[in-house]
Structure 1
Amino acid sequence: MTANIDGMTSTQFESVKDEFARNFAERGEVGASVCISVNGEKVVDLWGGIADPATNSPWEEDTISIVFSCTKAATALCAHILIDRGLLELHAPVSEYWPEFAKNGKENTTVQMMLNHESAVPALREPVKPGGFLDWDYMIKRLEDEEAFWEPGTRNGYHMVNFGWTVGELVRRVSGKSLGQFFQDEVAVPLNADFWIGLPENITHPIAPIIVATPDPQAELSPFTKKLLTDPNSIQALSFLNNGGWNQNDPQAHKAEIGGAGGLSNARGQVAMYEPLALGGSHNGVQLVSPERLAAMAQVSTATQVDATLLAPTRFASGFMKSMDNRAYPGGDQMSAVLGPAAFGHVGAGGSIGFADPDHGLAFSYTMNQMGMGLLLNDRGQSLIDETYRILRAAG
């Protein structure tokens, strides 16, 4: 479809706007935003298309949407701020901060393991009660009581939504604030970022409902999807489907602090969070973390050939995703996010992404309402990233 596209693009990055337009014309985009900052200056800030097909309302400058697992980066950042301040020790046992978690095979879990998706609770075996994802205390108790799926630290398996509670509870216990409040106080408000983990009552930004992807019956299924569809007791099915009826378009879900998958933002809001991380840890007088902590945050801290949840090779940097090029694997186009070597950030289900690349002083984000298949990027977001790097390489 042809879409109205608003916003600004510097002359050097006009071809990114062309790719953004192609997403609507050729790749099934409905409504979306893309924002790019280089060395602290916005070079792209675009939005367009339809925010809500039911009302035909346009995607506006301040439209926000659920960004799914992009929220994990915000949650991880909160933990790193506390680590940088010496209030949370990366290699300390979780039991020092959250003693109730240290049972049922989880006694030796460390903070690093939680950030690495190695804490062995990627899913819950027994059904989550209706609305359970909206009840923080309930989910914390469930995770405390859950038996480890493996010995923590011996492997990693993507903690699809549980990451928000495992890491988020550490933030809550150490800071004395809820995850969402800590993020607002220490990150979003200082940086003037439209990004929330739990939407307050007074926020009036238009919210674009998420549109679930329609599967292509001819597409090759990834091992994750095959397992999800065929084994209801698998980690894949339990982590994805055992969610208490969580509906990402429910206004009550928007208010809940779901730090693994429930944040609301847009491309500009995510770029505001990543700009300091692209520039040594600070931007416009706001220092999020020290240069030393930033360097550690960007390093691969765990990598595996077969992630216990995603059943594909994964690479993580203490709560952040690194570049994952799995396109040579079956269904790998649904399990890839190809970034620069120094880049770190996070993908959201259906194709949204935010990341920083300190090598280029780059902060990048793309968000949308029409989900694509798979849990990582698809051709819409990847095309924008590829074009951005092409321009940066050409500029030397």
Structure 2
Amino acid sequence: MSEHEPQVHGHCDARFAAVREAFEENFRDRDELGAALAVTVDGTTVVDLWGGWADAARTRPWDRDTLVNVWSTTKGPVALCAHVLADRGLLDLDAPVAAYWPEFAAAGKEKVLVRHLLSHRAGLAGLREPHSVAQLYDWELTTARLAATEPWWEPGTRSGYHALTYGFLVGEVVRRVSGLLPGAFLEREVTGPLGIDFTVGLPEKESGRAARLVRPRAAPAGEQARVFGQLAPAALAALTNPVVGATEANTPEWRAAEIPAANGHGTARAIAALYGVFAGRGAYGGRRVLSPEAAERVREGQGSCRDLVLGAGFAHDTEVGLGLWLSGPNGSYGPNPRAVGHDGFGGSCGLADPEAGVSLGYAMNRMGPHIADDPRKTALVKALYSAL
């Protein structure tokens, strides 16, 4: 790299030189600001890279332990919480949600199953009444409104991305069964024992390590109006009620809240470790988190369809498992259609491929305009599989 480009630090096994090259190309050719990347193969870290800047003004270098909000990449760890409970016989994924959360039966939702929550098929992609960002920070209010609301479509029939509501829905079931909010449950059962640097929300004492997110470059106003004009009411509710972005995510209030669909903070190393539990068929770091059968269930496809929220942004159908997206024929997580993963708004990603024994974590602070399949992530995944 030239003296004018950000320096990339860390370790990369020689076999994965193409991955390092793609990471460097993201800075040179794809407008990367600050980022980190980690890859594990059979539980061993083979790539651990970071570089660039933790702020838009380029005054703080991105270092080995820089944390960042990774948006929906958080959903994988939240799903893991539910699967841990199911693996212990404490949660039945085929039971009605109301068996654990009685208030949820309101407005015709008595037959909605736990598996529908995990697979974005509950019909609750967004709330029908206006819900502010400040109200999003109120767990009791948000979950009470979700329990009372009517589904946008017949639950179980189609997927529609539950961008913000997913974490409250799955998270409230975790709380009703375990007595803990998902962030605390994840820490007690997974990240604490495994020493994984990832939290839902961010403790104030760690705020000095956090990179500041930078908003995507704005599309022309006319283009924005055209896109939003094409969205169905359920999609508008999912993506705009409330509108959240880099500005909100950089605030102390966002970091102090529990928003399990969107405000996980961690390193790329931590993402690779958490998704490494799925890649390792339930085990990581010498510890078993899930039984092999429970780990396999995470990628149990629930039916391919044009997503009711994200469909306008994709030229193909997609399929969600029980908490993670299948790579499928479009190869979002590499050429193995049974690989799984989850992208975060603006670019971040976690990937798990049990057949290859591979996990990947990617985190960055300059957000792109994509909810999924950011070109930077796509380049990294392509380079990874070229080296396997």
Taking structure 1 as the reference length, the TM-score comes to: 0.90
The residue type paired with residue 129 of structure 2 is E
1:271 is matched with which residue?
272
The residue type paired with residue 261 of structure 1 is A
Tell whether 2:47 aligns with 1:53.
Answer: no
2:250 is matched with which residue?
249
User: Pick from 10, 15, 39: which aligns with 2:13?
Assistant: 10
The residue type paired with residue 236 of structure 1 is A
In 1, Cα distance between equivalents of 2:96 and 2:226:
33
1:374 is matched with which residue?
370
Q: Is the 8 A contact 1:191 1:273 kept in 2?
A: no
Matched ranges for 1:1-396 at <5 A: 2-54=5-57, 56-203=59-206, 206-217=209-220, 229-230=228-229, 234-243=233-242, 247-304=248-305, 306-311=306-311, 312=314, 313-323=317-327, 338=334, 340-392=336-388
Residue-pair matches, total: 379
Does the residue aligned with 1:345 lie in a helix, a strand or coil?
Answer: strand
Does the residue aligned with 1:33 lie in a helix, a strand or coil?
Answer: strand
In 1, Cα distance between equivalents of 2:45 and 2:237:
41
Of 252-261 and 279-288, more deviation after overlay is shown by 279-288
1:330 is matched with which residue?
none
Deviations 1:33-92 (A, max 9, x none): 000010111110000001112352111111111100001111100000000000000100
Q: Is the 8 A contact 2:119 2:159 kept in 1?
A: yes
The Cα of 1:218 is off from its aligned counterpart by 12
Q: Which structure is higher in helix share?
A: 2
The residue type paired with residue 274 of structure 2 is M
The residue type paired with residue 298 of structure 1 is R
Percent identical across equivalent pairs? 39
The residue type paired with residue 310 of structure 2 is L
The residue type paired with residue 290 of structure 1 is S
The Cα of 1:159 is off from its aligned counterpart by 0.5
Does the residue aligned with 1:363 lie in a helix, a strand or coil?
Answer: strand
In 1, Cα distance between equivalents of 2:113 and 2:295:
20
In 1, Cα distance between equivalents of 2:103 and 2:23:
48
The residue type paired with residue 230 of structure 1 is G
Of 286-295 and 200-209, more deviation after overlay is shown by 200-209
The residue type paired with residue 324 of structure 2 is F
In 2, Cα distance between equivalents of 1:370 and 1:218:
21
In 2, Cα distance between equivalents of 1:244 and 1:139:
15
User: CA RMSD for the aligned pairs?
Assistant: 2.2
The Cα of 1:287 is off from its aligned counterpart by 1.1
In 1, Cα distance between equivalents of 2:92 and 2:159:
20
Deviations 1:251-277 (A, max 9, x none): 221121111111111210111112232
Deviations 1:155-191 (A, max 9, x none): 2211011000010000000011111100111111112
The Cα of 1:288 is off from its aligned counterpart by 0.9
In 2, Cα distance between equivalents of 1:166 and 1:308:
18
Deviations 1:213-266 (A, max 9, x none): 1145599x7xxx777522687222221121276711112211211111111112
User: Which contiguous aligned blocks of 4+ residues in structure 1 show a shift greater than 3 angstroms?
Assistant: 215-219, 225-228, 324-327, 336-339
5+ long unaligned stretches in structure 2? none
Task: Tell me: CA distance 1:271–1:233, structure 2 relative to 1, closer, same or farther (3 Å).
Answer: closer
Q: Is the 8 A contact 2:334 2:385 kept in 1?
A: no
In 2, Cα distance between equivalents of 1:19 and 1:240:
31
Task: Tell me: CA distance 1:238–1:368, structure 2 relative to 1, closer, same or farther (3 Å).
Answer: same
5+ long unaligned stretches in structure 1? 328-335
Q: Is the 8 A contact 1:64 1:205 kept in 2?
A: no
The residue type paired with residue 72 of structure 2 is S
In 2, Cα distance between equivalents of 1:339 and 1:250:
38
Does the residue aligned with 2:304 lie in a helix, a strand or coil?
Answer: strand
Q: Is the 8 A contact 1:277 1:356 kept in 2?
A: yes
The residue type paired with residue 378 of structure 1 is D
Q: Is the 8 A contact 2:126 2:237 kept in 1?
A: yes
Q: Is the 8 A contact 2:328 2:338 kept in 1?
A: no
The residue type paired with residue 350 of structure 1 is G
